[in-house]
Structure 1
Amino acid sequence: MPSSCLRTLLFSLPLCLSFSGALAVTVADCTSAAGCSCAPSPLTDDELSVTFGLDTPADTTGYVFVIFDGTGTWSQLSIEDIDITAGGDGSCAGQLQPEDGVWASSSKVNSVSCGSGTAMMQQILTGNLNREKPARVTWGGVFDGETFRKAWLAANPDPEASHPTWTRVSEIEVTSRDSLEGLTSSSRMVLLSPRSFRMDWDVEGRNEEGVCRWSVTSMVRKTGD
């Protein structure tokens, strides 16, 4: 959802984008001495690598993406061995659920296309990112976009905030669509571990100069209880 200040600035410029299809990669989220939870992720291998600042193996066949105490790595061990290494019984059981607590985001602009106004829009977007306050989120064991939106707005009030329509893709993935004042947006939230998720925003708008498009990716992490 663009903030009200960005909506205002947009109408001296403009915005669109779409997600690429994602391939299932097994992710093992592990905690020292407590074992792991394993689940297929809708993120591609490259998306997972970029999210955690890693290089992707040339061929990820047979690899598992492991998040161990919050640090990501690629492993050729079986999920059973990964779970045992982390102190589990080898079953890699347990549902991946977000933990209640204080969550903070770190965002970056992926792409901007606004014709002659591209450089200015890039500067506007970059200047308005990463200013939000962390939010206390009570998930209740369910990864839910509206739960996060309400908690985020409680910490960062915006009287012009929109109300997106959410769609549950799976227990660890939700998407949304929204339209307000000439803008359309779509988002995708993917739970990576009980303490982190990735959120991608694609936005499009139009003014007298034409169409403007941008995309933003946020890594959202639990930072405290």
Structure 2
Amino acid sequence: MTRIAFLPVIAALGLSVPLAAPARAEANLGTGGKAVYADCRDGGCRCTLSPMTTDEVSALIGTAPPEGARDWVVVSYADSYFWSAQSLEDIDSAMGGDGRCDLEVFAPVVPRDGTWTGKVRTTKIAGCPEGLAQTLPGMVSGMVFARRIAWGGVFHPAQLNMNPSDQVVNWTEIGPTMFQGKLVAPVQNDMLSVSGTLTSSLVDEDSAVARFHLRVGAGSGANAAALAMLGMADCRVDSTYQFKRSGA
């Protein structure tokens, strides 16, 4: 299967729309609320019990299973994440596998040392200047970096910066593989108020994901009406960062 065949795959798996707002769902009660994860490639999938709950996964990927849903699976394919109500066997078959995808249960996931490559894409722009809304997606889609990371057996999203010594984000650990963060020294003055919040998680030993919400608004002494005319009274940008281990 190629990227051209991606939309038929979505339909075949009964996947939920990826841009829906996160919502709480009564899902995966048989796994203690933990999300079931199918990491799929052309030719089949690897299925694991995630260390994260369905709510935590929903916050990271930006969409959740429908209200009242049970036993949904989050599927990773072609650099995207979706929820599917299909069985693990059917998901594996749809991806070209042999129809077997035994659920693997692991101790907390540990990232593997090696060369990690990061890509970023803008998923939502609202209330921003028209020119920015038109040019930003194309600009960030070309932002690719790669560097070798020695994790020391512990995941921390600061390692995913191009320069880990730069203290750009204050991170708070939610669990061994999940963090929340806030921008260090956001802009706060009479004209503009700039803030940013992040979530980051280790998906498996070879991949991680982060979501970044940036807001630029009017400061306490600003002329909000004038800034609104410029598209800067309440500019919000949501971005998704995807990281993959690509080699030793």
Taking structure 2 as the reference length, what is the TM-score of the superposition? Answer: 0.57
Question: Aligned partners of 2:67 and 2:88: how far apart in 1?
Answer: 17
Q: Tell me what 1:96 maps to.
A: 109
Query: 1:211–1:36: structure 2 CA closer, same or farther, 3 Å change rule?
Result: closer
Q: Matched residues in 2 for 1:122 and 1:72: separation?
A: 24
Q: Distance in 2 between matches of 1:44 and 1:173?
A: 13
Q: Distance in 1 between matches of 2:24 and 2:202?
A: 14
Higher relative contact order (CA 8 A, sep 6+): 1
Matched, 1:121 2:132: yes
| Residue 194 of structure 1, CA deviation | 0.8
Q: Does 1:222 align with 2:245?
A: yes
In structure 2, the CA distance between the partners of 1:43 and 1:97, relative to structure 1 (3 Å rule), is same
Distance across 2 between alignment mates of 1:39 and 1:219: 17
1:188 positional shift: 0.5
SS of 1:44's partner is helix
What's the counterpart of residue 181 of structure 1?
187
For structure 1, the 5+ residue unaligned runs are: 1-18, 51-55, 79-84
Once the two structures are TM-superposed, the CA of residue 167 in structure 1 deviates from its matched residue by: 0.5
In structure 1, the residue matched to 2:125 is 112
- 1:10 equivalent in structure 2: none
1:47 corresponds to? 61
The 5 Å alignment of 1:154-169 reads 163-169=168-174
When residues 136 and 76 of structure 1 are mapped into structure 2, their CA distance, relative to the original with a 3 A threshold, is same
CA distances 1:50-82 after superposition (whole Å, capped 9, x unpaired): 9xxxxx7998523444769x998956359xxxx
Partner of 2:163: 153
Matched, 1:192 2:206: no
Q: Is this contact kept in 2: 1:25–1:45, CA < 8 A? A: no
Q: How many residues align?
A: 182
Asked whether the 8 Å contact 1:45–1:60 carries over to 2, the reply is no
Secondary structure of the corresponding residue to residue 159 of structure 2: helix
Kindly provide the amino acid, as one letter, of the partner of residue 220 in structure 1.
F
Aligned-residue sequence identity (percent) comes to 15
The one-letter code of the counterpart of 2:114 is G
Instruction: Measure how far apart 1:133 and its partner are.
Output: 2.1
Q: Distance in 2 between matches of 1:181 and 1:101?
A: 35
CA RMSD of superposed structures (Å): 4.0
- Aligned-residue offset at 1:48: 8.2
Counterpart residue number, 2:216: 205
Contact conserved, 1:36 with 1:93, CA < 8 A, in 2?
A: no
Match of 1:5 in 2: none
Tell me the TM-score normalized by structure 1.
0.62
CA distance in 1 between counterparts of 2:235 and 2:38 reads 38
Shift in Å at residue 36 of structure 1? 6.7
